[in-house]
């Protein structure tokens, strides 16, 4: 859901590691309160968790949902049913499209928007 970044490499992935993904479809969700950290509140680098999507090639469909607002750390998700529903509904649309062959591309990232959070959806390689 919230992938490690690459700079610094500690607990991350090498800067070219995301380019080796090939054409696999990927949908990641990153919370605003966790974009700079690893573990519980340990600062790594500005936008550290956003680096994964930035480094991914465009050989396959890539989606990133950046969830802004409160209750957006991985620890908070258990207490945020709106983000849980967002994750469930959009994951279903994603897997229907790229596993089952049911075209739901227009729905990916746009289903069940949490009323108390802002979602910035990015996509490439479509």
How far apart are alpha carbons 25 and 126 in whole angstroms? 9
Cα 25 to Cα 75, 96, 113, 114, 125: the distances in Å are: 26, 12, 22, 24, 9
**pLDDT category, 1, cuts 50, 70, 90?**
low
> What are the tens digits of pLDDT across the range 67-85?
998 888 877 777 889 988 9
How far apart are alpha carbons 21 and 65 in whole angstroms? 19
> What are the tens digits of pLDDT across the range 27-62?
999 989 888 887 766 788 888 889 888 888 899 999
Q: What's the whole-model pTM score?
A: 0.86
| Domain locations in the chain as residue ranges | 17-124
């Amino acid at each position: 859901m919230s992938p490690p970044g690459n700079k610094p490499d500690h607990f991350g992935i090498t800067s070219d590691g995301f380019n080796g993904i090939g054409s696999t479809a990927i949908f990641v969700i990153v919370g605003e309160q966790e974009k700079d950290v690893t573990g519980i509140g340990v600062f790594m680098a500005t936008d550290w968790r956003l680096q994964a999507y930035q480094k991914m090639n465009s050989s396959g469909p890539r989606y990133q949902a950046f969830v802004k607002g409160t209750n957006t750390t991985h620890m908070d998700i258990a207490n945020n049913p709106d983000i849980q529903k967002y994750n469930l509904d959009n994951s279903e649309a994603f897997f229907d499209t790229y596993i089952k062959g049911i075209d739901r591309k227009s729905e990916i990232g746009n289903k069940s928007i949490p009323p108390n959070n802002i979602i910035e959806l990015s996509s490439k390689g479509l």
